[in-house]
Structure 1
Amino acid sequence: MARVREFDIEMAVEAAMNAFRRNGYDGTSISDLVDATGVGRGSLYAAFGSKEGLYLAAMDRYREGYALPLVEQLRQGAPGRELLRYVLVAAVDEIVRDGSREACLIIGAAVGRIAHDPQVAAHVQSTTEVLEDALYEVVAEAQADGQLSGERDARDVARYLVMTMHGLRVMGSVNPDRVSLMAVVEIALDALG
Structure 2
Amino acid sequence: MARQREFDTDAAVTAAMELFQRKGYEGTSMRDLADATGLGSGSLYAAFGSKDGLYLAALDLYRQRYAAPLTDLLRAGQDARAVIREVFVGVVDDIVQDGRRQACLIVGAATERAHRDGRVAERLRATTQSLEAALFDTIAEAQLRNQIPADRSPAELATFLVTTLQGLRVMGAVSPCRATLMLSVDVAMRCLT
TM-score range, shorter chain: over 0.9
Aligned residues with identical type, % of pairs:
54
Amino acid aligned to 1:124 = L
- 1:191 is displaced (CA, Å) by 2.0
- 1:181 is displaced (CA, Å) by 0.6
Please give the alpha-carbon distance, in whole angstroms, between the structure 2 residues aligned to 1:146 and 1:78.
12
- 1:143 is displaced (CA, Å) by 1.8
Instruction: Name the structure 1 match of 2:44.
Output: 44
Instruction: Name the structure 1 match of 2:11.
Output: 11
- 1:116 is displaced (CA, Å) by 1.2
Instruction: Describe how 1:155-166 pairs up with structure 2 within 5 A.
Output: 155-166=155-166
Instruction: Name the structure 2 match of 1:105.
Output: 105
Instruction: Describe how 1:132-147 pairs up with structure 2 within 5 A.
Output: 132-147=132-147
Please give the alpha-carbon distance, in whole angstroms, between the structure 1 residues aligned to 2:177 and 2:109.
24
Please give the alpha-carbon distance, in whole angstroms, between the structure 2 residues aligned to 1:192 and 1:79.
12
Q: What TM-score results when the alignment is normalised by the length of structure 1? A: 0.97
Instruction: Describe how 1:84-103 pairs up with structure 2 within 5 A.
Output: 84-103=84-103
Instruction: Describe how 1:1-193 pairs up with structure 2 within 5 A.
Output: 1-193=1-193
- 1:170 is displaced (CA, Å) by 0.5
- 1:2 is displaced (CA, Å) by 2.6
Partner deviation per Cα, 1:41-85 (whole Å, 9 max, x = no partner): 000000000000000000110011001111111111321011111
How large is the RMSD of aligned CA atoms in angstroms?
1.0
Residues 52-61 or 147-156, more deviating: 147-156
Partner deviation per Cα, 1:128-150 (whole Å, 9 max, x = no partner): 10010001011111122221122
Say which SS state the counterpart of residue 176 (structure 1) adopts.
coil
Please give the alpha-carbon distance, in whole angstroms, between the structure 2 residues aligned to 1:84 and 1:2.
48
Say which SS state the counterpart of residue 103 (structure 1) adopts.
coil
Please give the alpha-carbon distance, in whole angstroms, between the structure 2 residues aligned to 1:41 and 1:177.
39
Note the residue ranges of structure 2 that are not aligned, 5 or more in a row: none
Amino acid aligned to 2:81 = R
Note the residue ranges of structure 1 that are not aligned, 5 or more in a row: none
Please give the alpha-carbon distance, in whole angstroms, between the structure 1 residues aligned to 2:146 and 2:103.
36
Amino acid aligned to 1:46 = A
Q: What TM-score results when the alignment is normalised by the length of structure 2? A: 0.97
Say which SS state the counterpart of residue 76 (structure 2) adopts.
coil
Please give the alpha-carbon distance, in whole angstroms, between the structure 1 residues aligned to 2:140 and 2:185.
20
